[in-house]
Amino acid sequence: MESIWIFYSLAGIIALGVGDYIKKLVLSKWGDKEVFLFMCFTFYVPLFTLNALLFWSGGFDGSLLRSGLIIGVLDFGIPLGMLTALKYLNVSFTLVFIRIISSFVILYIGIFLLWDQLSSYNLVWFFLGALAIFLLSGFRIGQKITLHPKWIIGLLMTTVCIILSHSYLKYIVADVNIANLMFLKFSITFACIVLYMTLRKKFTNLNMQQARLVFPYVLITSVMFVLHFLYFLPGIYLAGPLSLGYKMLSYSLIVPILLSIIFLWEPVNKTRILAFGLTVVSIFLFLA
């Protein structure tokens, strides 16, 4: 197994984690998730356009257009499903359920459809990592959670779109120019979001004063996610297996928790200590 994909995974974890932490800061004070999402994509498109202009190769052939359309629509379904789910259950539980379910399905796809070669250490690491991520959600034994039907619909929509998007990217990543593909993908996703925001009349209710206040946070978040999608994610899937590469990215959930403990003085309970310990053990088993 080429070790370079591990570097890309760690870089992707940091980029996603920092982006998620900034989103948490903004949305805790400014709750309009849909407008924040639109502002982020407003920066995504020009950044990807600049990259496409610098590294463009070839033209718009049918295969590239088809791939950009498929991944672009799927990546619109991810935040749309997430926004639906977050109306009925908090972000910690929702993200954890999505990451665990999608990780196990992608593990199955990687082993049985893409012939990923996994050792027994890798499998133990996989299950310990899933347990650690579950504990980080803050769930307590005996705690009652009401699962609204629309939360389940949003969860399934997000999870299915993630699984299809990552699996398809792994399947085509070696045969396309990433700059071209990501430009098309985010242009299509952005067009879908503009249509969605227009139909929901979000532009007429946009608070420009608040938008200016969150501008620096949106810019940093956008740069983090652009770095991830443009360089780290393709690097992971070019050199590494689908199942382990996606699972490594699940550890990005740990970054905003650590940053919240350091900068926001969030409490550290026994469950989180156990989760961090399992994380260390699982990563050790992965590298063994």
Average pLDDT, the chain: 80
Q: pLDDT at position 162, please?
A: 92
Rounded distance, CA 247 to CA 118, Å?
Answer: 13
User: What proportion of the chain, given as a percentage, has pLDDT over 70?
Assistant: 87
What torsion, rounded to 10 degrees, do the Cα atoms 98, 100, 103, 104 define?
-120
pLDDT digits (tens, 9 = 90+) for 148-159: 899 999 999 999
Rounded distance, CA 214 to CA 96, Å?
Answer: 26
Q: Around Cβ 238, how many Cβ atoms within 10 Å?
A: 16
User: What proportion of the chain, given as a percentage, has pLDDT over 90?
Assistant: 9
CB-CB contact of 107 with 126 (8 Å): yes
Q: Convert 145-195 into a string of H (helix), E (strand) and C (coil).
A: CCCCHHHHHHHHHHHHHHHHHHHHHHHHHHHCCHHHHHHHHHHHHHHHHHH
Q: Which domain holds residue 262?
A: 4-287
Residues 6+ apart with CB under 8 A from 229: 182, 186
pLDDT digits (tens, 9 = 90+) for 7-45: 888 888 888 888 888 877 777 676 667 777 777 777 777
**Apex 269 CA angle, 268 and 270, nearest 5:** 130
pLDDT digits (tens, 9 = 90+) for 265-280: 877 778 778 888 888 7
Per-residue b or e along 11-23, where b marks 16 or more CB atoms closer than 10 Å to that residue's CB: bbbbbbbbbbbbb
Rounded distance, CA 57 to CA 278, Å?
Answer: 44
Q: What is the DSSP letter of 228?
A: I
- Comparing CA positions, the residue from 165, 169, 164 lying closest to residue 237 is 169
Residue 65 has pLDDT above 80, yes or no: yes
For residue 288, name the pLDDT band (cuts at 50, 70, 90): low
Question: What is the number of structural domains in the chain?
Answer: 1
What token pair was written down for 62? Answer: 């049918």
Residues 6+ apart with CB under 8 A from 178: 230, 234
Rounded distance, CA 74 to CA 158, Å?
Answer: 9
Rounded distance, CA 282 to CA 88, Å?
Answer: 32
265: left (phi over 0), alpha (psi -120 to 50) or beta: left
Rounded to 5 degrees, φ, ψ at 240 are -125, 170
